Every structure is written in structure tokens, then in C-alpha cells.
């Protein structure tokens, strides 16, 4: 591939700017660009001093730390010598402050069953469960896999581990037995916590059966705790398996939180590499807790009266940081929902927002694009006037999807926080502070306090304004991963080798003349047409701005003349695919971006291959577009039939 010193071409020309309303800004903690800049400049003038103060003010310490930061590159230690407990910060701190009656969760199951749990309720259930875990013989530092539906017992299980120093590894409830066994074995988990089943689109997912198959191949696991959720058949193995309700029945609700060292591991979360086995991203105690808490408060401008709803599953980092550890450290009241957004109808989310008067909604572009496709009439049936702030995470949000979210869901009055971050970063790295930073559709705007991003060209120099380059983070931060479980060499190689002394994110980004960042997609996904390097999101956003298009994925395929040709895969709203539309889309891209970006192939498809967390898997589409049999890892693919359909649809 040729190296262009200019980096990746910026072809997206998005000029709309949306400052926060007077009304929003007047109540926000940070309410002007000057307020943001003063906080940011203070943070970077002396990063250690900044985090030291944050940690002293916002974390409860059993014993204070003596050193803020130790760097044995690329291995970081934050708040060295301190002792704290994350479950204490999430629960006891509120109960002791007389705020135990505050609602922690308004939970709703997919069939419509409801439970409300206060912070005192969660505290009690966590203590009982921690005591039960101790009785099973689990000791500080042991690993525990959790494979559960989105019921309150999932955060309870996570917090119960944290309370007594067990390291949890949450495995999303949609994963196969193979994936569970791989994770159990890599972490050498001693315990698996699961449920008989969970509800998804009106059907019971038999989690215990999948867990049983995994346990056949997981020799390290000695016990399996089973929550009764759906009451389906669940084969229990004598001596290994126990019911959740049996083991907590006689447990005391008194269980002191274990003082944990700042750098003790809190959890492992597996995330897919593009090839090979998944990586166990390791996060530790104090730095992660502080970072999740403060970023939650900054980005969501959280107030006591807010009802916060993050629609992610606890099986992803978003659920860890912005359902469990961030919001609960901040004492937030949340909505938790078990099931699918289109059950029993496509208006389920809007119904939930109306019922609980949700004020902050945090969801993913894949969901937003589905809502657009399902149609506005589902939204129109409900009163969404309780919303004051919207958020997006997981992928770039195409400007047209952003506009729909802003106007249709936010009624034009709610800022959108487009939050860029990763499993590895532990918490949000770039996002508007909603009362301070005007939004631009498609941009994650500016870095949060203490975060120093930089976009580098292949010569490792910073690229110029509006040129794309490898997005790196120049200074360590408390929420950063501390390693890959059991594989220091891979940690070093993956994140710290290509660019010396910088954390390599794996994404490309550009900075515009206002210092706003625009994420351009994964480094590996760049398309190189006749020596011009194009980012996937820009071609896709141009397509999505056509009224017929619901979703689009752009990839490069080999081309003898141009190096790479652009192949796009497109799903439509309510439109028939035909030659005329294909031509119209090419014209549209030519108008929006220019001749350079006009796709060579346009394939219509009913769905795109996605990860189980909803990201488009361009790597698989690249194989299809170039007529190759795929060889990479497909274990994170959500729906295997999509690939078969795409392959058999050669002439679609």
C-alpha cells in the first residue's frame, strides 16, 4: 500500500453545528466552551495532579494511596498503595449517606414483568450473594464467569464478586458454548454463574443447556450457580450445580467489603481480535472505578432527578462502565431492560421511555438505524418529552442517522453525546460535554479531561488539520487496560509497538479546524483507490443520506488498475432494489463526495453481518467482495445465515 504523507483523505463535508439550548446549558455543570477548556487545560497542565485530586475527592479509601502514578512502560499503576472497594463505592457509600432508598433499578423483563430495587435492596442482595460465594470456597483473585440474561441478578453477581475480590468475566448471553468454554479456559475460571434461561423476542433462550455444553469443555470450573428466571428444563449436575435461591436462602446480609489494592484486578472482558483467539482485556480497581464514575458524571451531566437508560447488555464494556460501575458509583437511578427492542412491537423502547420518564437515553447506531427502518409511526405513538439528553456509542453515527435521532427522538431539544471509546479504554475518551460543546453530526468532538489524543501519519508525525491518521493516546489515563489476561507480549505488541510511547487505538481519525475529532473507522478498513486513502464511514454516510437507504457498509476489493475498488453493501428502507436505484446511488455519492468515492459494486442485501454487539463486520464483507473464502475468526458474528445469504446472492 502506498504511503501518503497527507494521511487519509477527508471527503465528508459536514458543516451543521448544534450548540446546546439556553435551557440545557443553564442547568449544566459545564455550560460554555470556556468552562470546558478551562477544565481540560487544568487537567493536562499537570495530569497526575489532576487525577490525584479527582481520586481523593471521588473515591472512598480504606487506606489512602501514596503515589498517584507509576509507569513501567507500557505497564501502568495508578493510586499505588491505596485500598478501596468498588462495590463499596457503588452501594455502601450511598446507604451510609442515607440515600439507600433511592431507586437503583427500574427493571423490566421482556414479557412485561417488573421489579424496582433500591440501593439498599441491591446492597442486601449483593451481601447475601457474596457470602454464598465465600461458602462455595471462592477466594480473592479467583476468576468467575458470568453468563446471564439482563436481570438485576447480573449486576448483583458482578458487584458481589467485586465486594470480595473475585475477578469476573461476563460473557454476553448470546454467545455459543464454544465461546464460553474458550473464555472459561483462558481465564481458568473456577465458577460459572448462569440462569436457566432468558427471554428474547418472545422465546426462551436455554442458557443452562448452552452452559452445560460449555462446562463439558471447561475443566477448571468447579461449580455452577443457576438463577431461576424462565423455569424451563435445566439439567443440574449433582455436586457441581446449585440454585441461586437455595444458596442465598439462609445467608446473612452482612458482608463487609474487602479492602482491595488499587491495582487488584476487577474484571476481565473478552473482546474479539480480527484474527485468532479473543483477548481478555484486564481492568483493575481504583483507576477504573474513578474513570467510569467521573466520565459518567461529566458526559451525561448527571443530576439526582435523572432517569438514565443505557440499552447495552452487561456483557459489553458499555454495560460494565455505564450500567454498573459508573452510574452506580454516582448513585444514579436507572432503567434496566431484559429483551429485544422489537418485542412485542417495534415501539418497545419508546413505550419504556414514556413509562419510566427516562431523561437520558444511551444507545447504539445499529439500534438507531433499525428504528429509522421500522418507521416513525412507532415513535409517534409515545410521549418522549421526558428526554433531555441522548447518547450514542459503539460505531460512528452517520450524520443522517444523527439528525433523525436529534429531531425525531430528541424533539430538537436534546444534545447528543457521540461517545468514542473502547473496551480497552475503560470509559469514554472523547465526547461533547453536552452543556458546553456544540455538537457536529458525526463527530465525537473533543477529548475528556486528562485525555490527550493525537492522529499520526505513517511517518509517525502528527497529520495536518482535516487529514486522517492513526488515532493514538499520548498519555496514560486511570481507566486504561492494564494488560491482556495472561499475555503481556500480546498487550505490548498490539497497543504499544507500532507507535513508541503512545497507546495505539486501532482507529483512524482526523481533527478539524475547531479541534473536533472525527473517527474514520478501523485502520485495517481503509480503502485505497488510486493512491487516495478513503475511510469507510464517509462513503457509508453518503449512502445513508439517500432516502432509500437504511444501512451501508463500504469495503475495498482488489482492482488491477486502481489498486482497490469500492464495493458497498446496502440495505434499503421500504424500497425495491433495481438497476435504476443502483445508478441513483452512484450519482448520489458522486454529488455528496465526488467521483473518487463512487462505488464500483453496489450489492443490495436484506441484512449486514454484525458482531453480537451490533458493529458491522467489514472484514467478512471484504472477503465476499473479493470472492475469497473467509479464514478469519467468525465467533463474534451474530447471525451466521447472513454470510451464507450474502455469498449465495452473488447477483443480488
Residue 318 in the binding site for ligand WTA (CB under 6 A): yes
Q: What b/e string do you get for 539-578 counting C-beta neighbours within 10 Å, with b at 16 or more?
A: bbbbbbbbebbbbbbbbbbebeebbbbbbbbbbbeeeebe
Which helix (H) or strand (E) covers residue 134, if one does? helix 119-135
Which helix (H) or strand (E) covers residue 284, if one does? strand 279-284
Name which of 142 and 540 has its Cβ closer to ligand WTA: 540
CB within 8 Å of 354: residues ≥ 6 apart: 382, 383, 384, 386
Name which of 540 and 623 has its Cβ closer to ligand WTA: 540
Minimum distance from CB of 624 to ligand WTA (Å)? 21
Residue 422 in the binding site for ligand WTA (CB under 6 A): yes
Q: Rounded to an integer, what distance in angstroms lies between the CA atom of residue 153 and that of residue 158?
A: 8
Residue 390 in the binding site for ligand WTA (CB under 6 A): no
Nearest residue to the partner ligand WTA, using Cβ: 423
Alpha helices by DSSP H, listed for 141-176, are 153-164
Residue 144 in the binding site for ligand WTA (CB under 6 A): no
Residue from 156, 166, 393, 549 that binds ligand WTA (CB under 6 A)? 393
Cell of 456: 499520526
Residue 121 in the binding site for ligand WTA (CB under 6 A): no
Residue whose cell numbers read 481492568: 283
Name which of 79 and 322 has its Cβ closer to ligand WTA: 322
Name which of 262 and 422 has its Cβ closer to ligand WTA: 422
Rounded alpha-carbon distances, angstroms, from residue 149 to 229, 301, 364, 568:
9, 29, 19, 35
Name which of 278 and 394 has its Cβ closer to ligand WTA: 394
Cell of 517: 475529532
Name which of 544 and 565 has its Cβ closer to ligand WTA: 544
Name which of 85 and 613 has its Cβ closer to ligand WTA: 613
Nearest CA among 344, 393, 338, 334 for reference residue 367: 393
Total residues at the site for ligand WTA (CB under 6 A)?
A: 20
Minimum distance from CB of 231 to ligand WTA (Å)? 33
> How is 339-403 classified by DSSP, letter by letter?
S-TTSSSTTHHHHHHHHHT--EEEE-HHHHHHHHHH-THHHHTS--TT--EEEEESSPPPHHHHH
Is 502 buried (19+), middle (13-18) or exposed (0-12) by CB count in 10 A? buried
Residue 423 in the binding site for ligand WTA (CB under 6 A): yes
CB within 8 Å of 355: residues ≥ 6 apart: none
Residue 138 in the binding site for ligand WTA (CB under 6 A): no
Minimum distance from CB of 579 to ligand WTA (Å)? 33
CB within 8 Å of 535: residues ≥ 6 apart: 8, 468, 508, 520, 521, 525, 526, 527
Minimum distance from CB of 442 to ligand WTA (Å)? 9
> Please, which residues bridge with residue 107 across strands?
115, 336
Residue from 107, 420, 477, 485 that binds ligand WTA (CB under 6 A)? 420
Minimum distance from CB of 642 to ligand WTA (Å)? 19
Residue 540 in the binding site for ligand WTA (CB under 6 A): no
Residue 623 in the binding site for ligand WTA (CB under 6 A): no
Residue from 338, 507, 540, 551 that binds ligand WTA (CB under 6 A)? 507
Residue 444 in the binding site for ligand WTA (CB under 6 A): yes
Residue from 439, 519, 542, 642 that binds ligand WTA (CB under 6 A)? 519
Minimum distance from CB of 396 to ligand WTA (Å)? 4
Which residues in 252-311 contact ligand WTA (CB under 6 A)? 271
User: Which spans of this chain sit near ligand WTA (rule: CB under 6 A)?
Assistant: 271, 317-318, 393-396, 418-423, 444, 505-507, 519, 522, 613
Amino acid at each position: 500500500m502506498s504511503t501518503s504523507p497527507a494521511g487519509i483523505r477527508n471527503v465528508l463535508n459536514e458543516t451543521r453545528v448544534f450548540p446546546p439550548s439556553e435551557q440545557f446549558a443553564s442547568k449544566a455543570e459545564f455550560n460554555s466552551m470556556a468552562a470546558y477548556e478551562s477544565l481540560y487545560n487544568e487537567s493536562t497542565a499537570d495530569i497526575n495532579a489532576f487525577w490525584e485530586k479527582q481520586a481523593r475527592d471521588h473515591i472512598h479509601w480504606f487506606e489512602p494511596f501514596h503515589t498517584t502514578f507509576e509507569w513501567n512502560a507500557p505497564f501502568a499503576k495508578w493510586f499505588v498503595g491505596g485500598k478501596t472497594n468498588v462495590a463499596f463505592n457503588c452501594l455502601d457509600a450511598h446507604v451510609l449517606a442515607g440515600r439507600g432508598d433511592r431507586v437503583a433499578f427500574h427493571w423490566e423483563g421482556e414479557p412485561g414483568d417488573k421489579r424496582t430495587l433500591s440501593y439498599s435492596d441491591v446492597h442486601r442482595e449483593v451481601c447475601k450473594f457474596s457470602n454464598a460465594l465465600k461458602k462455595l470456597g471462592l477466594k480473592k483473585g479467583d476468576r468467575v464467569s458470568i453468563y446471564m440474561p439482563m436481570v438485576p441478578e447480573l449486576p448483583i453477581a458482578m458487584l458481589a464478586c467485586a465486594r470480595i475480590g473475585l475477578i469476573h468475566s461476563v460473557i454476553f448471553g448470546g454467545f455459543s458454548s464454544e465461546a464460553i468454554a474458550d473464555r472459561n479456559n483462558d481465564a481458568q475460571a473456577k465458577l460459572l454463574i448462569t440462569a436457566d434461561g432468558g427471554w428474547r423476542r418472545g422465546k426462551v433462550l436455554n442458557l443452562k443447556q448452552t452452559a452445560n455444553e460449555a462446562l463439558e469443555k471447561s475443566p477448571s470450573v468447579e461449580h455452577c450457580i443457576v438463577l431461576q428466571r424462565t423455569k424451563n428444563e435445566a439439567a443440574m449436575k449433582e455436586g457441581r450445580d446449585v440454585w441461586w435461591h437455595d444458596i442465598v436462602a439462609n445467608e446473612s446480609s452482612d458482608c463487609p467489603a474487602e479492602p482491595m489494592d488499587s491495582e487488584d484486578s476487577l474484571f476481565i472482558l473478552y473482546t474479539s481480535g480480527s484474527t485468532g483467539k479473543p483477548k481478555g482485556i484486564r481492568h483493575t480497581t481504583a483507576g477504573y472505578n474513578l474513570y467510569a464514575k467521573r466520565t459518567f458524571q461529566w458526559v451525561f451531566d448527571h443530576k439526582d432527578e435523572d432517569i438514565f437508560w443505557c440499552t447495552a447488555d452487561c456483557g459489553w464494556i458499555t454495560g460494565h462502565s455505564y450500567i454498573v460501575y459508573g452510574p452506580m458509583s454516582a448513585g444514579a437511578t436507572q432503567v434496566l431492560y431484559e429483551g429485544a427492542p422489537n418485542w412485542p412491537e417495534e415501539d418497545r423502547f419508546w413505550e419504556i421511555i414514556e413509562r419510566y420518564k427516562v431523561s437520558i437515553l444511551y444507545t447504539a447506531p445499529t439500534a438507531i438505524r433499525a428504528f429509522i427502518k421500522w418507521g416513525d409511526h412507532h415513535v409517534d405513538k409515545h410521549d418522549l418529552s421526558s428526554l433531555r439528553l441522548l447518547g450514542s456509542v459503539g460505531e460512528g453515527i452517520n450524520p443522517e442517522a444523527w439528525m433523525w435521532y436529534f429531531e425525531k427522538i430528541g424533539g430538537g431539544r436534546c444534545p447528543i453525546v457521540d461517545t468514542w471509546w473502547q473496551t480497552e479504554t475503560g470509559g469514554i475518551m472523547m465526547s461533547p460535554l453536552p452543556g458546553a460543546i456544540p455538537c457536529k453530526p458525526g463527530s465525537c468532538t473533543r477529548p475528556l479531561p486528562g485525555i490527550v489524543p493525537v492522529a499520526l501519519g505513517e511517518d509517525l508525525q502528527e497529520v495536518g488539520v482535516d487529514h486522517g491518521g492513526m488515532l493514538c493516546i499520548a498519555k496514560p489515563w486511570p481507566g486504561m487496560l492494564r494488560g491482556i489476561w495472561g499475555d503481556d507480549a500480546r498487550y505490548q505488541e498490539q497497543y504499544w509497538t507500532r507507535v513508541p510511547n503512545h497507546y495505539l487505538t486501532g482507529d483512524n481519525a482526523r481533527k478539524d479546524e475547531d479541534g473536533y475529532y472525527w473517527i474514520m473507522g478501523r485502520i485495517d478498513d481503509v480503502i485505497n483507490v488510486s493512491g487516495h486513502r478513503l475511510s469507510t464511514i464517509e462513503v457509508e454516510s453518503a449512502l445513508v443520506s439517500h432516502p432509500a437507504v437504511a444501512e451501508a457498509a463500504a469495503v475495498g476489493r482488489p482492482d488491477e488498475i486502481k489498486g482497490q475498488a469500492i464495493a458497498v453493501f446496502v440495505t434499503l428502507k421500504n424500497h425495491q432494489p433495481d438497476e435504476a436505484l443502483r445508478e441513483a446511488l452512484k450519482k448520489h455519492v458522486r454529488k455528496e463526495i465526488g467521483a473518487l468515492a463512487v462505488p464500483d459494486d453496489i450489492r443490495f442485501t436484506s441484512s449486514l453481518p454484525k458482531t453480537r454487539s451490533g458493529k458491522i463486520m467489514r472484514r467478512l464483507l471484504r472477503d465476499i467482495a473479493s470472492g475469497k473464502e473467509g479464514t478469519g475468526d467468525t465467533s463474534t458474528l451474530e447471525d451466521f445465515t447472513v454470510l451464507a445469504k450474502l455469498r449465495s446472492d452473488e447477483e443480488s
